[in-house]
Structure 1
Amino acid sequence: MTIHSKLLCLSLLFASTIFSQKAANNLLLTDHMDITPLKKNTIQYVDQLTEEVLTEIGAEQASRFDSTYFPDTEKFNVLSASVTKPPNKIIVIPTSDYTIKKSAASQEAPGFTNSLILSIQFPQLNPKETVRVKTKNIETLKNKTNFTPTFMPDPNNPTKLLSIKFHNTNAFKLFWAKSKDFNLEQNRTLLTATLQHHEAIVPEVDMVDSSDVLPYLELSAIKTWSEFGNAMWQTYKPIYKVTPKIQEMADRIAGQSTGLEAAKKLYQWEINNIHYIAIYLNQSAQMVPNSAQTILQRGYGDCKDYVTLLSDLLIAKGIQAQPAMVNWSYAFREYPIPSSLQFNHAILYLPQYKLFLNPTDIHSGFGELDNALTDTPAMVVGEKSFMTKTQASHAANNGVNFKSDTMLTKTGNLEGQTSATYLGNYNTVIRSVVTTVTSGSELADNILSNSYYGGQGRMRWSDPKKILQNMTVTSHWFSAQAIKMNNPIYMRMPNGPMIFDIDHLKSSLTMTKRHYPMVAGRRTLNIEQSLNLPKNYQFKLIPNNLHIENSIGSYDASYKVVEKTLHKTVKFIIKKNIISAKAYPLYLKLMETALEDQHAFISVVPAGFLNK
């Protein structure tokens, strides 16, 4: 189905389109969208969809039609729905089989959206059958920012023909932009865009959002992003207000701190005291947040509300703060003109420090942005709105400093301890992990059970609620009879329980050719390991030192024996957040080197056998 996004966080939907089948399950034969301005502030959309079922899986996927709409601003109806069974038997779906219910968003956060879902359940479908649905949606535009639809083909299945027609263009100031795949014709009263024979996307692990690589057609009532942001600011401006209560709160929370230190305290307070509901940026709500007073009374809010409250608190302390709109997914494309796919999330911008904050993420430290938010298009909203990018991450600022010290006993047991300090957006992940387990023993045992040597242990960590501090994690662990005390002994360098070690990164690898960019994440892993031998044992063979470096990053490993202790030092750097398909072989070579080193064997013999 054509994607006609309406600021419904659809890029998050795109991010989840990771399909398990390479062959198509359905074929979109035709999708015709007719758009007609009825009045100055009313738009009618008529969509006719024809889809052929190709496989049994496709039959299951096409068995239900769902469409979300907002009754405050939209009148949505299904004009007809049918199934054609070979050779030419048409089954018309009666309106009694249509159902309307509250969306999950409405049920979970009724104060934020009242969206509904209209559903049609088709009878049992089989391959070679065809589904047809025709819908009409009349939308009332509250302002020009509400008309910025973007059309793309279905990423899941091939599309034979997608067409969009905009009628009565002389009655509506219309701007458009497109990728080269769309053909476009325009006269005084009609604009027609078509896309033919588009293949489905075969997903790749850690690839960018499919909306970054799909062809697109944008239609907009606004020509520039700055104009779009300025119009949005007119709805935000009345909400942003430093009341006496906000001023008192800001003074109390910040204390004597000023500037960046005050900002950090206010950020910490909001994350610890305001409950997050959900992300709902939609046209029905015009992306308008609640007032700070309302948020404080409720004790909860969505992304827009987090930004509003923190902004008011910061402004009360003399710190400039502006809302910014981003796409919180692996979507990094910047559209030429205002597009409904460009944003699904609100964050905060501090112009004095050129810093973006994501207070919605309760595990994210001050200024920490995850791989989906770093160096991504952002529209800063204000009296003079502008498009820019969020701050880029740096490999040296994200990662871990990890140390392990392990003893091999005469009976083949391994006993060790570890310590780790996490940096940058690695903190966000670690805070999330430790808050989802019941104990340090549970986490250590889970990690060790999937490791080469197994074992049991106990982990301890710093307070994840102190988000202004780097997370630290320590452990003690034990693995009984992990090593067969043969002569010689062959073993790998023990690691102990490490959250997200180098082996964890192999999930990003694919042995087939990549066609799309992947998100790798800039990081630096500093790892120091020590292995201590029992009395009367010596190291016979140790791995060679390694160094590999290319445009993607570098991997260095060094080994050194001091008496009965083997010291290993690793520095693994990934310098790119996004890696192109062309550059992927360089990333693959880097990862292969790192994994081969992690799996390299060490030889240990009893004293006196060293030269035998």
Structure 2
Amino acid sequence: MRIAMQRLSAAVCLALVGGAAFAQSAPPDRAAAAAPAASATPAAAVASDDPIRRERSYLSYTVQADGSYVEQHETAFKVLDERAIEYAKHESIGYSASIQTLDVVEAYTRKADGRRIDVPKSNFQVETNDGREGGGPAFSDVATTSLVFPDVAVGDTVVLNYRLVGKKAMFDGHFSDITSFSDNAYMGDLRIKIDLPAGLWTQQQTFGKLKQVRDETVGGRHIVEWTYQNLSPVKRESDPATIFDLERYNGYALSTFRSYGDIAKAYGERALPKAVPTARVRKLADEIAAGKTDQRAVAQALYEWVSTNINYAGNCIGLGAVVPRDQEFVLDNRIGDCKDHATLLQALFAAKGIEATQALINAGNVYTLPKVPVASSVNHVLNYLPGLDLYVDATAKGIPFGELPAQIAGKPVLRVDRPELKASTPGFVKLHNRQRMDTRLTVLEDGSMKGTVEVELSGMPAISMRASLRELSADDAKDMIKNVFKRGGLQAEGSFTQDDPKPLRGEHRYRAQFEVKQALPVPGAFALGPSFFSPMPVSALVGSGTAEIAKDEGDGTCGGGRSEETYRIEFPATMKVIAVPPNLSLESGGSRYTATYTLKGNVLEASRVIEDATLGPVCTAEYNRAYQAFAKKVLPNLKAQLVYQ
């Protein structure tokens, strides 16, 4: 089963920006962003199809011995099409007001005839996040300077040159940066320079077509420079489920960290002192765990309390990105980002004598950490319990104790208690995700029908369904049947019942009973499928493998599961069923599909089961093509119709 994961989820809260952001936050391709219709262009389209292109991009870092740095950006974008004018006119610069100051050196529109029109002061707008009466902001110290370029037309170029001056280092004495550039975007002239004290030890790596043109020590400074140009880009065909592989792009990595263990140590030095339980936390832990003696039961109670009682709110830049808030603040306000959740939970565990630590991980589409250890390659924090050999993520709301959200399964982690240990979160369990749906229908002479649908779920389908139904009110439940069928243009009434969705559990059941007026044409035909909503029908596991796989596609995110559907459909004596789908049994690479259709008089009994043995969370393109071939053989059976008159 192909699954597309967002590059960054809401759980991504640890912005360890020792230098620029990780590859996923590389300088944006404004040409693509400015053209919503770009996805409709041919796969081989070149840069001339883009409404805007990057003529130059100069980036430099001047690093001090303490790790603080000055960041200089100069960009020039040329407008090629009217579609891009409105986009090109606006630019925003975000930065951490607590540790950075912004200086806009120059901003102007260069007209096609050579004239320069500077951005007037009246075209600037500054937004800041401040606390009250001089106090620091509780949630975010992000400041944003926005500006509007004047008189932009097709053929003009907008130029922006600004400097960010760092007041403090994210990690004392360290700097790291990793950035990549896709070869499907036009780049007229890219220049990157990093200037560090010669006394700072560094390691570096260059990827793809980026050229290193300088690496020397001059006057006590170590200077490294790269250049890149891409005048004839070709659009990639890759599926959005393709994982991010830095070495498929053009880029570089430079770091003063000798190992990823050093990054974990540096984070721990700031975070672990905050995890010592206070008297208030000890009292709270006793209250939460009251009556429980088993270590796992106590740990589960503490995890569930933090997950359900501490809301997510982040301060993802400034020193707040790597220093958790005090326990008192988190408890008073019932908010926190990932490091706040992990730190409070570690303190609660410690209060009950449960050994626990924190671990750093990438929560985006990165499954292999780059060779050069860069702080921004890990952007999320969770907890690890050595005594239970269990990772838990209290930031991921709705996830039961013992489970992990899909985007952090099967990935390398940096454990703060054992920084140099090569560890990883557990991957997916084969056929762990399951759905069983039983449908019983009685068709009336006018095409109306009445029936029941019962659904049993486990794994991620159960978790997602619980999350979607957790806040369902009694009134909404009462109108559920009417509203579900109304979306299909049908009139219906009935009842909906379910297990209590509020507890954090990996199983769920629900039942729908309904009567639907004139649901079917008479005579007519229909393809057998769910009569009510279901998160993982057989068709989903089959259809996910039928999308074409691009020739240039690399490894991709994936997962599987088991889905079973049984049907009993009784037609009236005045109708005759004249065709049913054929039975089918297929197997490929451990995945299986079995379908049986039995007609007894006017009663059809059918069963369809698919076992998608895909383990994941990463599959090669070769594996995906094999599953695609299997799925394409199954698909006609799902589309085959039941015909009656």
Q: Using structure 1 for the length normalisation, give the TM-score.
A: 0.87
1:24 aligns with 2:62: no
Q: State the Cα distance separating 1:131 from its structure 2 match.
A: 1.4
How far the C-alpha of 1:161 sits from its partner, in A, is 2.8
The residue number in structure 2 matching 1:345 is 380
Bigger drift between 150-159 and 521-530 goes to 150-159
Amino acid at match of 1:174: T
User: Which moves more between the two structures, 50-59 or 506-515?
Assistant: 506-515
- Does the 8 A contact of 2:410 with 2:427 survive in 1? yes
- AA aligned to 2:88 is A
1:72 matched to 2:98? The reply is yes
Q: Distance in 2 between matches of 1:195 and 1:171?
A: 28
| Deviation for aligned residue 1:580 | 4.0
Out of 345, 350, 361, the position equivalent to 1:326 is 361
Letter of the aligned partner of 2:17 in structure 1?
Answer: K
Corresponding residue SS for 2:374: coil
CA distance in 2 between partners of 1:467 and 1:578 (Å) = 27
* Aligned-partner Cα distance in 2 for 1:457–1:204: 45
SS in 2 for 1:172: coil
Taking the aligned partners of 1:434 and 1:12, their CA distance within structure 2 comes to: 32
1:370-381 counterparts in 2 under 5 A?
370-381=405-416
2:225 corresponds to: 192
SS in 1 for 2:181: coil
Is 2:155 the counterpart of 1:128? yes
Shift of 1:209: 5.9
Partner Cα distance (2:520, 2:155) in 1 = 59
Three-state SS of the structure 1 residue aligned to 2:572 is coil
Partners of 1:455 and 1:204 lie apart in 2 by 43
Deviation at residue 536 of structure 1 after TM alignment: 6.0
Query: 1:122, 1:507 → 2: CA distance?
Result: 45
**What are the within-5 Å matches in structure 2 for residues 99-498 of structure 1?**
99-102=125-128, 110-139=137-166, 140-144=168-172, 147-153=175-181, 157-168=185-196, 170-184=198-212, 185-188=214-217, 189-197=222-230, 199=233, 202=236, 206-208=240-242, 214-254=249-289, 255-278=291-314, 280-382=315-417, 384=419, 386-435=421-470, 439-440=476-477, 443-445=480-482, 447-448=484-485, 458-468=495-505, 470-486=507-523, 489-498=524-533
Letter of the aligned partner of 1:304 in structure 2?
Answer: K
CA distance in 1, matches of 2:525, 2:170: 72
541-550 vs 67-76, which moves further: 541-550
CA distance, structure 1, for counterparts of residue 211 and residue 514 of structure 2: 63
Q: Using a 3 Å threshold, how does the CA distance of structure 1 residues 214 and 11 change in structure 2: closer, same or farther? A: same
Can you list the C-alpha shifts for 1:412-468, whole angstroms capped at 9, x where unaligned?
Answer: 222221122221222332123224665235554555456698856543322222013
- In the alignment, which residue of structure 2 is the partner of 1:566? 605
Contact 1:12 1:328 in 2 (8 A): no
Deviates more, 1:592-601 or 1:121-130: 592-601
Structure 1 residue 307: deviation in Å? 1.2
Count of matched residue positions in the alignment of Structure 1 and Structure 2: 597
Q: Helix, strand or coil: the match of 2:277?
A: coil
Shift of 1:117: 0.9
1:505-544 to structure 2, matched below 5 A, reads 506=543, 510-511=547-548, 513=550, 515-516=552-553, 517-535=555-573, 539-544=577-582
Paired with 1:565 and 1:337, the residues of 2 have a C-alpha distance of: 61
Whole-Å separation in 1 of the counterparts to 2:24 and 2:447: 49
Separation in 1, partners of 2:347, 2:229: 50
> In the aligned structure 1, how far is the partner of 2:202 from the partner of 2:114?
41
Q: Any gaps of 5 or more consecutive residues in structure 1? A: 606-612
Contact 1:208 1:519 in 2 (8 A): yes
Measured in 2, the distance between the counterparts of 1:10 and 1:458 equals: 50
**Equivalent pair of 1:514/1:584 in contact (CA under 8 Å):** no
SS in 2 for 1:187: strand
Question: Residue type matched to 2:223 in 1?
Answer: L
Indicate the larger mover: 314-323 or 494-503.
494-503
Distance 1:571 1:512 in 2: 22
Distance 1:552 1:28 in 2: 48
Which whole-Å CA distance do the structure 2 matches of 1:463 and 1:203 have between them? 44
Q: Match of 1:555, SS? A: strand
Amino acid at match of 1:589: A
Higher relative contact order (CA 8 A, sep 6+): 2
Query: Do structure 1's residue 6 and structure 2's residue 41 form an aligned pair?
Result: no
- CA-to-aligned-CA distance 1:458-487 (integer Å, 9 cap, x gap): 43322222013522221123332223333x
Q: CA–CA distance in 2 between the matches of 1:446 and 1:490?
A: 24
SS in 2 for 1:237: helix
- In 1, the alpha carbon distance for the partners of 2:508 and 2:137 equals 36
Letter in 2 for 1:550: S
SS at match of 1:285: helix
Shift of residue 590 of structure 1? 4.1
The alignment partner of 2:57 has SS state of strand
Deviations 1:380-417 (A, max 9, x none): 22353545322101241123222222222233222221
**Unmatched runs of 5 consecutive residues or more in structure 2:** 1-14, 42-48
Q: 1:266 to 1:450 in 2, by over 3 A?
A: same
Aligned to 1:63: 89
User: Which segment is superposed worse, 4-13 or 438-447?
Assistant: 4-13
Deviation at 1:79, TM superposition (A): 0.6
- Structure 1 residues 353 and 138: CA distance shift in structure 2, 3 A: same
Q: What is the SS of the residue equivalent to 1:87?
A: coil
Task: Identify the residue that residue 34 of structure 1 maps to in structure 2.
Answer: 60
Residue identity matched to 1:78: V
Contact 1:102 1:114 in 2 (8 A): yes
The residue matched to 1:375 in structure 2 has which SS?
Answer: coil
Q: Deviations over 1:558-579 (max 9, x none)?
A: 3234562412232241513334
Q: Determine helix, strand or coil for the equivalent of 2:407.
A: coil
Contact 2:64-2:197 within 8 A present in 1 as well: no
Residue number in structure 2 paired with 1:545: 583
2:3 corresponds in structure 1 to none
Structure 1 position 174, deviation (Å): 2.1
Structure 1 residues 498, 415: CA separation in 2 closer, same or farther (over 3 Å shift)?
same
Please give the alpha-carbon distance, in whole angstroms, between the structure 2 residues aligned to 1:74 and 1:9.
15
Q: 1:143 to 1:269 in 2, by over 3 A?
A: closer
Deviation (angstroms), 1:551: 4.2
CA positional deviation for 1:282: 3.0
What is the CA deviation profile of residues 354-389 of structure 1, one whole-angstrom value per residue up to 9, with x for unaligned ones?
322221122211232333222123222235354532
- Cα distance change on mapping 1:328 and 1:143 into 2, 3 Å: closer
Provide closer, same or farther for how the CA distance between residues 88 and 231 of structure 1 changes in structure 2, counting only shifts above 3 A.
Answer: same
Distance 1:190 1:302, change over 3 A: closer
TM-superposed CA distance for 1:80, in Å, is: 0.7
2:98/2:318 contact within 8 Å kept? no
SS in 1 for 2:377: coil
Relative to 1, partners in 2 of residues 1:408 and 1:354: Cα closer, same or farther, differing over 3 Å?
same
Asked whether the equivalents of residues 549 and 625 of structure 2 are also in contact (C-alpha less than 8 Å), the reply is no
Distance change (3 Å), C-alpha of 1:507 and 1:256:
closer
Question: 2:299 corresponds to which letter in structure 1?
Answer: A
Give, in whole Å, the separation in 2 of the partners of 1:258 and 1:68.
Answer: 48
More off after superposition, 507-516 vs 156-165: 507-516
Q: Kindly tell me: are residues 518 and 407 of structure 1, through their superposed partners in 2, closer, same or farther at Cα, counting changes over 3 Å?
A: farther
1:364, 1:428 within 8 Å by CA — same for their partners in 2? yes
Are 1:50 and 2:81 matched, yes or no?
A: no
* Backbone CA RMSD of aligned residues: 3.4
